[in-house]
A and B are shown apart, each in its own frame.
Chain A
Amino acid sequence: MAETSIHGYSDRISVAPGERIRFMVSVEGAARYRADIVRLIHGDANPAGPGFKEEVVETAVSGDHPGRTQPIRAGSHVLIDDPGGLLNVGNSITVHTFIMPTTPAKGVQGVVTRCDPERRMGWALLIDGQGRLALWLGDGAGRLVQVAATTPLMAGIWYSAGASYDGATGRAIVHLAPVVNSYNSRVGPVAALAAPVVREVDVERVDFHSQSAAVIAGWAEGTSTAGATLVGGHYNGKIDRPRVYGHALSADELAGLAAGREPDSRGLIARWDFADGIGPIGIPSDRVTDASGNDLHGRCVNAPARAVTGHNFSGREEHFIHAPAEYGAIHFHDDDLEDAGWEPSFELIVPDTMRSDVYAARVRAGNAVDYIPFFVRPASGRPTAQVLFLAPTASYMAYANEHLGVDVGVGDAIMGHTTVLQQEDLYLCAHPELGLSTYDHHSDGSGVCYSSRLRPIPNMRPNYRHETGSLWGFAADLDLIGWLNARGIRYDVATDEDLHREGAALLRNYRVALTGTHPEYYSSAMLDAMEAFLGSGGRLMYLGGNGFYWVTSFHPDKPHLIEVRKAEGGSRAWQAQPGEYFHSTTGERGGVWRNRGRAPQKLVGVGFAAQGFDRSSYFRRMPDSRDPRASFIFAGVGEDELIGDFGLVGGGAAGHELDRYDLSLGTPPNAMLVACSEGHSDSYQRVVEEIYFMYPGAGGTQDPGVRGDIVYYTTAGGGAVFSASSIAWCGSLSHNNYDNNVSRITANVLERFLSAEPLPATS
């Protein structure tokens, strides 16, 4: 029997009492598993800290459940809806499209197909095992026609790719022509590429009818037990304007298509226009339109990238909404994954007795255990506390299943730390079908711009440790939850999805909002809500670092899917291709908010300044800390005390990612600089968006900008902001059984912010 493993995910991440959440579980090596709902109090099991703390909540979920293995099929493609079988041609055919393959040498890949690969039956325009454009036609009885271009395709080059077969004459044609302009491809017109290929051959007669589904960017491999078409042979790269005719076009007509000339529409069965649907809010849709009039529309599966440049990209307009005709492509990847698609295993109707908090479905089989986190928010408009913890779930999604430690050569250099892998990382290595994060590259080298939570996310678990051997994201945020519990502070919980959806109305009911340790990914609606909150008396404790950084979109109809385009600037794992800086799901420009006029400093007084992960440092008090308007923050803290020279995240409160006060970037002029960090190593480097000219000395031992600044200020209407400006801050809260100056400062601020007594204005 295989080693036991168990993994799961939920359909929702935030639920209120009375609402239903479904859990999808897959078990290997065990017939049954035990499930419980647990309240998560503290995640880090480090023996130097409070340890892992959870509390079982008795619900109808508790008990044994039958287990089964549920597979995941990654890879994006388009399924064509052809109930009438119009594409089931079997005598003569033409398939034409523009393609920009990105891994032509990886093996056979379907481009436009309607075939059964097992039985060798049907038709397929594909890339063959030698990296060549090919037409394959098979009758399922042994006759297989394979005609290929004579030269292999090159990665990153746009081609006109066509093939036809005339059943009356037995003449097959493959027509391949590079369509390179100065902007659209990896190389320009100067490069001496292979000349257009026109291969005309007489082949044996074959009847290639089949009952398979038509697929773009793969081929149908069968049907699931639930009746869904299973697709294999995934293609990597872009496809633009595919079309199918029921008769054979001549070589001249195929050359005409390559040059943008339209033959008459006689025999045209399908002409897919991937740009159709682009509108003022982008193209937040899976629909693919057939513009032939035959209504052979399609549906994208597993979120291939839309709003990408097409074969005719002229470089004049970079916003796809303004030039949809130049954005007629979709970029497919064999490792795209939107939805694992597992059958539900059990569900929970959240009882009224479950208070708003952080929970998980704990599933156990043998020695294997998984925690599927979720958040219970209070019933709408009925807060149960004055403090709201905002779980940065968009950031959890952005980092979901990241492979930085194993896929990125410079990972150790970025971290300043030898990569330390956990068992969860090994599982991710062995199971690439669990998909990627926005920190990863697809198998073809392109950046990952979408991330979904409808899949197991082993690195978003309460006890997960990150490649630095320390905490990150969800596990790190439980340090704050543990502190709130240890101090007996009542809190409600909501997620980024809730903030995005409900806006300022969500925050209005609370006196104080708390962020997590790294609320890096923010949508415009979330920023709007936070600004409205702070402008109307709300008080925010930003207890992390590098927050409010990347422009992030939630798909308007799919809250489980975020989009990030890493445009020019910012500490980024990849950079979007020219012309692809705008989000397909909202139409807004991606990149860092700083480059869109909305630097984090405007909201929280500080913004990303430096990062390093070798060892965290401490803060030292600044003159403003003794100002009577700010001195409440340091009550009980000595004048010369080093703040946070201890902790479970790198050994100090100032570490991992640090933010800095900067009037030029929008820090409110009345902001008080109450403490600064110091003593960082050269693994800490100034952020890349502040590197204009390059010169030596941008590390922590030489650059004065490599520091974190604790900032406090009041806002209009009695609001206030306290920014800790360091991811590691919350990792120091538990030191000495929660009795330390980081804990004291955090408590001082929270108590004062909770008080109805007005705060003296810092202006």
Chain B
Amino acid sequence: MADETAAAPPPDREQIALAMWDKRMRAALRPLITKKIITEHRRDPLGHHSDALNRVLNYIRRRAPWGKCVVVCTKPFKQWRVARLPGARGQVPVFIDERTYNSEAKAMHAAFLVRIEELMRD
């Protein structure tokens, strides 16, 4: 009894509102993305941060999981890489490139830079 084409679920209009909000939020956050906050994050991706960096982090940390950049520990206490979360259960995160990092903090910063770059894009 083979599967057939599944019916599309009814549209969720909230997505339109969320997309508009997202556009406004990105526009509001872009001026905050300066060398200063990037340096601040590189120095310490955790703990107390400036208001500007906190606002940017609050935005990127609450993004939908699918496609989000995360850190994967590839050799315990030695090596980390950046990967993108899969689009569905049963799939594994995909590494975004071949680069490796020798600290968790450096990998977190690399993921941050990717997220920032995405934020700057339309």
CA distance A681 to B58 in the complex (A): 13
Bound Cα distance from A416 to B69, whole angstroms = 15
The 8 Å CB contact of A120, one of B1, B58, B62, B90, is: B1
A295 at the interface (CB under 8 A from B): no
- Residues of the B chain whose Cβ atoms lie less than 8 Å from the Cβ of A429: 86, 89-93
CB contact under 8 A between A430 and B91, given known A409-B62, A409-B64, A409-B68: yes
**Interface 1/0 per residue, B71-99 and A, CB below 8 Å:** 11100110010010110011111000000
Chain B residue numbers with a CB within 8 Å of A426 are 72, 92-93
A107 B92 Cβ-Cβ under 8 A:
no
Kindly report which residue of chain B lies nearest to residue A433, judged by CB atoms: B90
A155 contacts the other chain (CB 8 A): yes
- Which segment, of A56-64, A88-96, A127-135, A360-368, faces chain B? A127-135
Q: Which residues of A contact B11 (CB under 8 A)?
A: none
Find out whether the CB atom of A154 lies under 8 angstroms from the CB atom of B93: no
Q: B1 to A421, Cβ gap below 8 A?
A: no
B70 on interface, CB distance cutoff 8 Å: yes
Q: How far is the CB of B78 from chain A (nearest CB, A)?
A: 9
Whole-angstrom distance between the Cβ of B43 and the nearest chain A Cβ:
13
Q: Do B104 and A420 have beta carbons less than 8 Å apart?
A: yes
Q: Is B46 among interface residues, defined by CB-CB distance under 8 A?
A: yes
In Å, the complex CA distance between A152 and B3 comes to: 15
Q: Check if A615 sits within 8 Å of B46, measured CB to CB.
A: yes
Q: Is B35 an interface residue (CB 8 A)?
A: no
Which of A11-19, A400-408, A473-481, A558-566 binds B? Answer: A400-408
B119 in the interface, Cβ–Cβ < 8 Å?
no
Point out the residues of chain B lying under 8 angstroms from A131, CB to CB: 6-7
Alpha-carbon separation in the docked complex, A723 to B72 (Å): 35
Q: How far is the CA of A432 from the CA of B92 in the complex (A)?
A: 11
Given A421-B93, A443-B89, A129 contacting B6 (CB threshold 8 A)? yes
Contacts of A126 in B (CB 8 A): 1
The answer to whether B10 has its CB under 8 Å from any CB of chain A is yes
Q: Which of A117, A219, A420, A426 counts the most chain B CB atoms within 10 A?
A: A420
Please determine whether A130 and B72 come into contact, CB atoms closer than 8 angstroms.
no
Asked if A412 contacts B73 (CB within 8 A), the reply is: no
Known: A408-B65, A410-B61, A614-B47. A419 touches B71 (CB 8 A): yes
Least distance between B30 CB and chain A CB atoms (Å): 20
B112: which A residues are within 8 A, CB to CB?
A: 418
Q: A422-B73, A423-B73, A429-B93 given as contacts; is B46 within 8 A of A104 (CB)?
A: no
Q: Could you say which of A126, A132, A136, A681 has the most chain B C-beta atoms within 10 Å of its C-beta?
A: A681
Chain B residue with minimal CB distance to A424? Answer: B73
Closest residue to B1 on the A side, CB-wise? A117
- A105, CB-defined interface residue at 8 Å: yes
B58 to chain A minimum Cβ distance, whole angstroms, is 7
Asked whether A132 lies within 8 Å of B7 as measured between CB atoms, the reply is yes
Cβ A409 vs Cβ B65 within 8 A = yes
B48: Cβ under 8 A from any A Cβ: yes
Asked whether, in the complex, the Cβ of A104 is within 8 Å of the Cβ of B4, the reply is no
Chain B, residues 20-39, CB within 8 Å of chain A (1/0): the string is 00000000000000000000
A412:B47 contact, CB within 8 angstroms: no
Contact among A129, A411, A413 for B5, CB-based, below 8 A: A129
Q: Which residues of B contact A108 (CB under 8 A)?
A: 1-4
Q: B34 to nearest A CB, angstroms?
A: 20
The answer, yes or no, to whether A124 is at the interface (CB within 8 Å) is yes
Contacts of B65 in A (CB 8 A): 406-409, 411
Is B56 located at the chain interface by the 8 A CB criterion?
no
Q: How far is the CA of A92 from the CA of B119 in the complex (A)?
A: 61
A681 contacts B48, C-beta separation under 8 Å: yes
Verify if A271 is at the interface (C-beta below 8 Å from B): no
Binding site of A, secondary structure by majority: helix, strand, loop or mixed?
loop
| B45–A47 CB distance below 8 A | no
Nearest CB in chain B: distance from A153 CB, A? 8
A46 within 8 A of B: yes
Instruction: List chain B residues, Cβ under 8 A from A107.
Output: 3, 6
CA distance A129 to B1 in the complex (A): 10
In the complex, the answer to whether A105 meets B3 with C-beta atoms within 8 Å is no
Q: Is A45 an interface residue (CB 8 A)?
A: yes
CA distance A388 to B90 in the complex (A): 41
Which residues in A have their C-beta under 8 angstroms from that of B93? 406, 421, 426, 429
Do residues B70 and A104 form an inter-chain contact, with CB atoms below 8 A? Answer: no
Nearest A residue to B80 via CB reads A420
Residue of A with least CB distance to B45: A418
Please encode chain A, from 34 to 62, with 1 for each CB lying within 8 Å of some chain B CB and 0 for all others: 00000000000111000000000000000
B19 at the interface (CB under 8 A from A): no
A489 to B32: give the CA distance in the assembly, Å.
Answer: 54
A417 and B6: CB pair below 8 A? no
A234 contacts the other chain (Cβ, under 8 Å)? no
Q: Which of B6, B77, B108 contacts A105 (CB 8 A)?
A: B6
Q: Which A residues between 102 and 156 are near B, CB-CB below 8 angstroms?
A: 104-108, 115, 117, 120, 124, 126, 128-132, 136, 138, 152, 154-155
A152 vs B8: C-alpha distance in the bound complex, in angstroms? 9
CB neighbours of B71 from chain A (8 A): 418-421, 469
CB-defined contacts of A407 to chain B, threshold 8 Å: 65, 89
Contact of A531 with B by CB under 8 A: no
Nearest Cβ on chain A to B4's Cβ, whole angstroms: 3
- Cβ–Cβ < 8 Å partners of B48 in chain A: 681-682, 701
Jot down 26 A-B pairs with beta carbons below 8 A, ordered by A. A45-B76, A108-B3, A128-B4, A129-B3, A132-B7, A406-B70, A409-B62, A409-B64, A410-B61, A411-B65, A412-B61, A413-B58, A413-B61, A416-B61, A417-B108, A418-B71, A420-B80, A421-B83, A421-B93, A422-B76, A463-B76, A469-B71, A469-B73, A469-B104, A614-B46, A615-B46
Taking Cβ atoms with an 8 Å cutoff, the residues of B that contact A are 1-10, 45-49, 54, 58, 60-65, 68-73, 76-77, 80, 83, 85-86, 89-93, 104, 107-108, 111-112
Given contacts A130-B7, A409-B62, A432-B90, 16 further A-B contacts (CB under 8 A): A105-B6, A105-B7, A106-B6, A129-B2, A129-B5, A130-B6, A131-B6, A413-B62, A418-B108, A420-B70, A420-B107, A421-B83, A430-B90, A463-B76, A469-B71, A615-B46
Interface residues of A (CB under 8 A from B): 45-47, 104-108, 115, 117, 120, 124, 126, 128-132, 136, 138, 152, 154-155, 219, 233, 405-413, 416-423, 426, 429-430, 432, 443, 463, 465, 469, 614-615, 681-682, 701
Q: A-B pairs with the 6 shortest C-beta distances? A: A129-B4, A131-B7, A412-B61, A413-B61, A152-B7, A615-B47
